[in-house]
Amino acid sequence: MTPLKPILPYLVSLLLWGAALEAARLFFGPALAPGPLEVLKTLGTLAYSGELFRELGLTVKRALYGVLLANLAGGVLGLLAGRFRLVLDHSAPLVAGLQSCPPVVWIALVMVLSGTGSLVPVATVAAATLPFVFSNAAQGVMGLNRRIILMSRLYKVPPLRRLLRFTLPGILPFYLAGLSTVLSTAWKASAVAEFMGSSDGAGARIYWCYSRLDMEGLQAWALSMIILGLSLEALLITPLRKKAAEISARGL
Q: Which domains does the chain have, with CATH numbers?
A: 56-250 (1.10.3720.10)
Biggest alpha carbon–alpha carbon distance for the chain: 77
Task: Judge if pTM exceeds 0.85.
Answer: no
Cβ(122)–Cβ(65) under 8 Å? Answer: yes
Residues 6+ apart with CB under 8 A from 197: 107, 110, 111, 116, 117, 120, 121
Q: Distance between CA 118 and CA 238 in Å, rounded? A: 28
Beta-carbon neighbour count of residue 150 at 10 Å?
A: 10
Sign of the four-CA dihedral 34, 35, 36, 42: negative
pLDDT in tens, the chain (252 residues): 566 666 777 777 778 887 887 788 888 877 778 888 888 899 999 999 999 999 999 999 999 999 999 988 888 888 888 878 888 888 878 888 777 888 888 888 888 888 777 888 999 999 888 888 888 888 877 777 677 767 777 767 777 777 777 777 777 777 777 777 788 888 888 999 999 888 888 999 999 999 988 888 998 998 898 888 888 877 877 777 777 667 666 654
* CA 223, chain centre distance (Å): 18
Q: Measuring CA to CA, which residue among 229, 205, 230, 231 is closest to residue 46? A: 205
What type of residue sits at position 76?
V
